[in-house]
Structure 1
Amino acid sequence: MQLKDPSLFKQKAYIDGSWIVADHGGTNAIRNPANGETIAHVPDMGAAETRRAIEAADSALPAWRAKTAKERAAVLRRWFELILANQEDLARIMTLEQGKPLAEARGEVAYGASFIEWFAEEGKRVYGDVIPAPTGDKRLVVIKQPVGVTAAITPWNFPIAMITRKVGPALAAGCTSVVKPAEATPLSALALAELGERAGIPKGVLNIVTTARPAEVGGELTSNPVVRKLSFTGSTPVGKRLMAQCADTVKRVSLELGGNAPFIVFDDADIDAAVRGAIASKYRNAGQTCVCANRFIVQDGVYDRFAEKLAEAVRAMKVGDGLQQDVQIGPLINQAAIGKVDNLVADAVSKGAKAIIGGARHALGGNFYAPTVLTNVTSAMAVAQEEIFGPVAPLFRFKTDEEAVALANNTRYGLAAYFYSRDIGRVWRVAEQLEYGMVGINEGLISNEVAPFGGVKESGIGREGSHYGIDEYLQIKYLCMGV
């Protein structure tokens, strides 16, 4: 792996300030999804190593919690600066293990770093309350304190940002953390730990446990009573399982789970702007994001024009290895992902949908899928209810506003939604009626560090980013003083 700083390429886990191997010496092979080549081997750790990571986090907690918010912010600020200073190396590591185009990887590094910067400052603004007492002989005060040892289980699609979005607020609040990165993309997490160590994060405050046995490691994180908070980003079925496991020790949980995002195009929309938003929302990271537009719900009067313009834009997209110049669509993460997309497209076509572009595996083979636009899609097709997680845009048709909202809300998910309209009355009505935690209005990219990210219904619990994000790592304590 060619890096400006080769020491960022780590093949050991990070526990209690030390780089270590698994107890049994086993490893997990990390492969480049663009060509299948093995690029690294990381420790395949289990419950015992995870338990030691939790113990290290517990031992480090008193001293880290005792630091002032300003002292913690100084460490986090150095970490933020080091992440940006090493942006190119971090982006290259990410593209090699995850597959996204290098330009997108650079963007994710900056996006991920923004959470460290934001929460470094938010930690200084953890305010309490003074409550007017009901009687004159008491004074009532509310303070906020760190929850304690936290655990983070992160996905492969954003291997840096999903860590910083959890660890940033945890450390800023005075908590310590044990992170289990995705089995497919641990190298970015390990590089972050190396930079965190250089920034002055004390040993035990941040721990990275790599594994090929996620159920075993997750089981220890959810059952160990020392862990007081679990944050997870991933699928809804796994999130439900983790939530149930956390119930035995009554842990706090933050869950950012699956999505089935509608992208509504009304007949008064700026169609060119809607197409640009659709490309950004749907095809970023080859369609492998939880907030990707999953269902395009287009009004009758503009359906054909939108479909034609979208297909034209998709046709121009370059597919290939993310390290190659001008590539816009990289590979899917593995063959299972390719198979799922293939099956969803085949189901839709068999029930009457038409692939006006794409509709099959890409000529490059391997994990590449051709960017696809499907028309004549109906609610009877699997793509109406299943998260695609691939570069496929299914276009549904509607007539009235009420029908569009009903179609959009007809899902168990409620993470992100998008719509395009220039009617201010319609904008307010539809925005309020959509059952989603986040709504993009005439905008296809909605994520940033200052806004609350999270969903409703079966898309999760809690919020990440914004001033709300640090509250997930704080507990409220009420003090009643007799005077």
Structure 2
Amino acid sequence: MQRFTSSAAVIDEPIIPPLQINYTKLLINGQFVDSASGKTFPTLDPRTGEVIAHVAEGDAEDINRAVSAARKAFDEGPWPRMTAYERSRIMLRFADLAEKHTQELAQLETWDNGKPYEQALTAELPLFVRLFHYYAGWADKIHGLTVPADGPHHVQVLHEPIGVAGQIIPWNFPLLMLAWKVGPALACGNTIVLKSAEQTPLTALYVAKLFQEAGLPDGVLNVVSGYGSTAGAALASHMDVDKLAFTGSTNTGKVVLELAARSNLKPVTLELGGKSPFIVCDDADVDHAVELAHFALFFNQGQCCCAGSRTYVHERIYDEFVDKAKARALGRTVGDPFKNGIEQGPQIDLKQFEKVLRYIKSGIDSDATLECGGDRFGSKGYFVQPTVFSNVKDDMLIAQDEIFGPVQSILKFKDVDKVIKRANATRYGLAAGVFTTNIDKANTISRGLKAGTVWINCYDIFDAAIPFGGYKMSGIGREKGVYSLNNYLQVKSVISPLKNPAWL
């Protein structure tokens, strides 16, 4: 995903009319069905807190039904048995349908999540489509090896689909996280039970319908909407799920990993939290560095696991940087995400909104300097003012915890070696940024940082082929790129004797 920028001027155009919501039931075995209990839950518009629609609330019984359908589709159905080229064609048809319906998908994503419509339409949807083209291209290129043995044996190493994949996606990038998981799983020939985030269930159900139109066989992709403590826990602990993938908070990731281990010891990939450092060296073009650091933190309302939420600035340029960072935050356009020129919409829900405000209060109470912001924006919805703190110390909560909101913490440093140690002094290790014109500094810092991704003089550059994941408590495994395929494959060695090895 290329960096998204938006005009600072708000153009007062009519709000895009919301779509009619057609898909609110669970998709199980190719059918949209009510939950077993008949329960529904509301999904809310973060702009107002009002109900968009009531969605079927899946629980353990619905997970059982979905896993059963996925198991049958894997054990008996055509998907793992059709040629890889045929699987690729179905995935390409889906990608073309998604591209055709980008406007509807972007509208749903903004309505349910609150992110700026321009961002969803021009940055996220193109990458969503690209990811499925990418994985469709991999489907017929997954193959094993022939291994030379120290003796008269023929050895094949086969790469086979792992089986039924359980996947739990978050609310901050619902479509992209779906693509990161569903794409490689399908390319490898697996079947899927996907649990969407309860805050943002709508686009996953729309996507499921498009997969049906593309010709995906029944039971290959099942989508269950519901809560983490019920549907999510049931999926993580299910004995007939062969693989689990989860994106979310580190605390929830621990629970998911424990449930998986205590059930059938299924392999788990986790993409979890972060507290990413963004290090601005003294040779920086300050104006450029301020803009890049602003983007690294405030993009998507600060609701990014890899947000550059610890901005380390060299002492020689610190005061200038703080003044300009404050001015940039004060100029940030906040408002209805369906209007042109809006850079920041609301936080996802009341819980997250209140959490961000608590962290802001913590920063004030710990004597960090509140440069701007610090309160709600407007009188309704879950909007938070763009907030900047200076004089932040490493031991403050705002410098340690993942806030997941529009709160920039600016810390001062003097020595490169010491700032590397400070940047690494965290339980997280998802991503980092370095801003310098000195190649030696760039190499020294990027090699010294314990993080899965390091951006040099850029930030939030995502591509279908670039692997993503974290060190330490930021997760296990990698998503995107060729590395993600390993998550959904079993490796089997097949050895047979050579009766007449004389030709060797």
Q: TM-score range by the shorter chain?
A: over 0.9
Matched, 1:26 2:39: yes
Matched, 1:86 2:75: no
Matched, 1:368 2:383: yes
Contact 1:222/1:245 (<8 A) preserved? yes
Counterpart secondary structure, 1:455:
coil
Partner of residue 324, structure 2 = 309
Q: Deviations over 1:364-396 (max 9, x none)?
A: 443110001111111231111100111110100
- Residue 131 of structure 1 aligns with an amino acid whose one-letter code is V
Matched, 1:48 2:61: yes
Matched, 1:11 2:24: yes
Q: Distance in 2 between the 1:79 and 1:396 partners?
A: 46
Q: Deviations over 1:85-114 (max 9, x none)?
A: 111110000111100000111122222222
After superposing the two structures, state which structure 1 stretch, 141-150 or 270-279, moved more: 270-279
Partner of residue 424, structure 2 = 409
- Residue 454 of structure 1 aligns with an amino acid whose one-letter code is G
Matched, 1:234 2:248: yes
Counterpart secondary structure, 1:54:
helix
Q: Distance in 2 between the 1:303 and 1:9 partners?
A: 52
Residue pairs, 1:59-458, within 5 angstroms: 59-62=72-75, 63-106=78-121, 107-135=123-151, 137-211=152-226, 213-248=227-262, 249-458=264-473
Partner of residue 5, structure 2 = none
Contact 1:282/1:391 (<8 A) preserved? yes
Q: Distance in 1 between the 2:52 and 2:205 partners?
A: 14
Contact 1:119/1:470 (<8 A) preserved? no
Contact 2:146/2:156 (<8 A) preserved? yes
Q: Deviations over 1:256-279 (max 9, x none)?
A: 001000111010122222222212
Contact 2:99/2:126 (<8 A) preserved? yes
Contact 2:118/2:340 (<8 A) preserved? no
Q: Distance in 1 between the 2:271 and 2:414 partners?
A: 32
Q: Deviations over 1:390-446 (max 9, x none)?
A: 111010001100121111101000001111011111111111110101111111122
Contact 2:398/2:409 (<8 A) preserved? yes
Q: Distance in 2 between the 1:4 and 1:286 partners?
A: 21
Contact 1:257/1:460 (<8 A) preserved? yes
Distance 1:5 1:300, change over 3 A: closer
Contact 2:47/2:380 (<8 A) preserved? no
Residue pairs, 1:456-467, within 5 angstroms: 456-467=471-482
- Residue 404 of structure 1 aligns with an amino acid whose one-letter code is V
Q: Deviations over 1:151-200 (max 9, x none)?
A: 11010101111111100000010000000000010001001001111111
Q: Distance in 2 between the 1:10 and 1:2 partners?
A: 20
**TM-score, normalised with respect to structure 2:** 0.93
Q: CA RMSD in A?
A: 1.5
Partner of residue 10, structure 2 = none
For structure 2, the residue ranges without an aligned partner over 5 or more in a row are 1-14, 499-504
Contact 2:28/2:219 (<8 A) preserved? yes
After superposing the two structures, state which structure 1 stretch, 277-286 or 458-467, moved more: 277-286
For structure 1, the residue ranges without an aligned partner over 5 or more in a row are none
Counterpart secondary structure, 1:65:
coil
Distance 1:302 1:9, change over 3 A: farther
**TM-score, normalised with respect to structure 1:** 0.97
- Residue 434 of structure 1 aligns with an amino acid whose one-letter code is L
Distance 1:481 1:221, change over 3 A: same
Contact 1:259/1:387 (<8 A) preserved? yes
Counterpart secondary structure, 1:263:
strand
Distance 1:4 1:64, change over 3 A: farther
Report the Cα offset of residue 214 of structure 1. Answer: 2.0
- Residue 274 of structure 2 aligns with an amino acid whose one-letter code is G
Report the Cα offset of residue 208 of structure 1. Answer: 0.5
Report the Cα offset of residue 4 of structure 1. Answer: 9.6
